Structures are given as structure tokens and as C-alpha cells.
Amino acid sequence: MSGLRRSDSPTRAGARAVEWDARHGLVKVNPIVAWSDDDVARYAAARDLIVNPLVERGYDSIGCRSLHPPGRGREGRWAGTDKTECGLHAGPDSLLPVRV
């Protein structure tokens, strides 16, 4: 399961709800792949979910290494590199039990 969304970045624009991840040898399910930022905000508000306080301060993307300037989303997240993801994606050997 992932929280990957097409609206996150151009590299995710073609993401599907169910995909084969050849690198990790597993099926990847992206249940909110078609959600917009507004969809996520409405879902969180309707369920009174905790949202990172930095989101309210204008940080659209909170990466694993640094914050990105308010209002600039994922722009410049990995400036100067060919990297597009932070590496938090887990393979089958590192999956943890998930409480649903």
C-alpha cells in the first residue's frame, strides 16, 4: 500500500491504482492515486486527522532531508541530482505490520 498520488509530481502522473513493482518484486496498491491535495485535506478534516503543523505554515512538501519553501510543492526537492524519490519506499524484506 502506498500514499502515492498522481498530483504529487510529473514523475507520478502516470501512476495506476495497482502496479507491479519489478524492483521490489511486489504488487503496489495506490488507493488514493487519483486524489488531489483538496481531496486529501477534505478527508483529513472530515475525520479529524492529525496533520503536520508545517502544512498550515505553507510547506506543501515535507521531504526526508529538508523542507521546501512554502508554496513551492516538490519543486527543487532534489535539485542538482537525478533523484526523484526520498527512498522511504519499503521492499518486501522491510515491511512492517500495519494496523488498519
Catalytic residue positions?
A: 86
Please give the Cα distance from 100 to 90 (Å, whole number).
18
Q: Is 64 in contact with 74 (CB distance < 8 Å)? A: no
φ/ψ bin of 77: left (φ > 0), alpha (ψ from -120 to 50), beta (otherwise): alpha
Q: Which helix (H) or strand (E) holds 21?
A: strand 18-21
Of the candidates 23, 25, 22, 26, the residue with the CA atom closest to the CA atom of residue 1: 26
